[in-house]
């Protein structure tokens, strides 16, 4: 069983330490939600795990399927089965969704077998259309340039589409609910749930409870000051929704150094 194990992870960007010792363990098949106010390091954690070059790991470890994740190149982390659904996916002008996804699928096949000639076009097309119909995406979507001129909802749907095609074992969803109207949120959540049924592990970063109405978490963590300060069941998110973060701040900020 795949497992993401993070131990005492300390990370900085431009010389400023954002993560002050994160501990987390996500197993395949589990859904973990990370909640917390702005600027507490949630996205930093997501980017660090995926390997964004702007972040420097000062100490601690992150292992995935027994391998030291921090030693791997970004593309290797992906092919090992890690996925990040971006909060703000960049657009790639001139590269269609279909061309991009076929390149990504072929990169996986080629890594397994250097002789691989790539997925046959009809086979790929069938796969793409099947996943797109689950996410209620029009078939013309495949021919559009990646994220170019996409609405907020389309971008998030495109992220989930990529996840559905690449079939990771652990997926990090970085505020995938932001910018979604209620219909889009439902469709995107259904897409995630479908993958969940195939035994994916999910690390869901969010501000709000509302996505958790659709994707039921096994564990809810509260992040503050660059560390996970509280963990509990699904009811912890409901509690936050009612009470806000003040009680957490009062409980931890005096004892723990704040990043700001």
Partner 1 sequence: MTDNSVVITRSKSTQVEDQFALTPVFSDGLGQLNQYQQQAWEVFKTLPYPSDTQEAWRRTSIRALKLGKLQLAGSNTNSQIPAELTKPLTDDLHGGEILFNGSQVTIELDEKLARQGVVFTDLRHAQTEHPEILSKVLQASKTYSEDKFAALAAAFGSNGVLLYIPKNVTVEKPLHSLFWTAGEGSLHAFQVFVFLEENSSATYVHESASAESKQGQNLHAALMDVKVGPNSKLNFVELQSLSSRDWNFTHEKVSVDSDAEVDWIFGALGSHLTKNFSDLNLVGRGSTGKMSGFFFTNGDQHLDHDTQQNHLAPNTTSDLLFKGALLGESRSVWQGMIYVAENASKTDGYQANRNLVLSDKARADSIPGLEILTDDVRCTHGATVGKLDTDQVFYLESRGIPRKEAEKLIVEGFFDPIMQRIPFEGVRKRFQNAIEQKMREY
Chain residues that interact with partner 1, rule: CB under 8 A: 50-53, 73-75, 77-79, 83-84, 86, 89-90, 92-95, 99-100, 103-104, 107-108, 111, 145, 162, 166
CA-wise closest residue to 133 among 194, 174, 213, 46: 194
3-state helix, strand, coil in the chain (%, to 5): 40, 30, 30
The residue (of 82 and 229) whose beta carbon lies closer to partner 1 is 82
The residue (of 88 and 247) whose beta carbon lies closer to partner 1 is 88
SS3 167: coil
* Closest CB 190 distance from partner 1, rounded Å: 22
Phi and psi dihedrals of 40, rounded to 5?
-95, -5
The residue (of 64 and 236) whose beta carbon lies closer to partner 1 is 64
* Closest CB 211 distance from partner 1, rounded Å: 21
The residue (of 154 and 218) whose beta carbon lies closer to partner 1 is 154
* Closest CB 152 distance from partner 1, rounded Å: 17
* Closest CB 95 distance from partner 1, rounded Å: 4
CA-wise closest residue to 135 among 179, 183, 103, 92: 183
The residue (of 15 and 53) whose beta carbon lies closer to partner 1 is 53
Contact 82, 50 (CB under 8 A): yes
Query: Any idea which residue has 């003040």 for tokens?
Result: 246
The residue (of 105 and 219) whose beta carbon lies closer to partner 1 is 105
* Closest CB 180 distance from partner 1, rounded Å: 20
Tokens of 140: 């013309």
Query: Any idea which residue has 């190149």 for tokens?
Result: 73
* Closest CB 13 distance from partner 1, rounded Å: 14
The conformation of residue 38, written as its DSSP 8-state character, comes to T
Contact 135, 187 (CB under 8 A): yes
């Amino acid at each position: 069983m795949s497992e993401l194990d993070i131990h005492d992870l300390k990370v900085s960007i431009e010389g400023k330490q954002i993560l002050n010792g994160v501990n987390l363990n996500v197993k395949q098949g589990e859904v973990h939600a990370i909640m917390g106010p702005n600027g507490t390091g949630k996205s930093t954690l997501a980017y660090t795990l995926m390997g964004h070059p702007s972040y420097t790991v000062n100490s601690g470890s992150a292992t995935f399927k027994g391998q030291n994740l921090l030693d791997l190149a970004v593309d290797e982390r992906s092919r090992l089965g890690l996925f990040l659904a971006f909060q703000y996916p960049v657009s790639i002008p001139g590269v269609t969704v279909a061309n991009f996804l076929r390149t990504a699928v072929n990169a996986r096949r080629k890594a397994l077998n250097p002789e691989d000639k790539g997925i046959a076009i009809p086979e790929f097309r069938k796969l793409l259309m099947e996943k797109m119909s689950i996410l209620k995406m029009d078939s013309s979507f495949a021919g559009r340039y990646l994220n170019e001129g996409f609405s907020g909802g389309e971008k998030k749907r495109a992220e989930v589409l990529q996840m559905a095609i690449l079939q990771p074992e652990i997926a990090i969803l970085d505020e995938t609910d932001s910018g979604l109207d209620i219909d889009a949120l439902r469709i995107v959540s259904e897409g995630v749930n479908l993958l969940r049924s195939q035994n994916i592990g999910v690390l869901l970063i969010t501000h709000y409870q509302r996505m958790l109405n659709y994707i039921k978490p096994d564990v809810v963590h509260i992040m503050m000051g660059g560390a996970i300060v509280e963990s509990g069941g699904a009811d912890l998110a409901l509690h936050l929704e009612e009470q806000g973060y003040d009680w957490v701040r009062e409980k931890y900020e005096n004892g723990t150094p704040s990043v700001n």
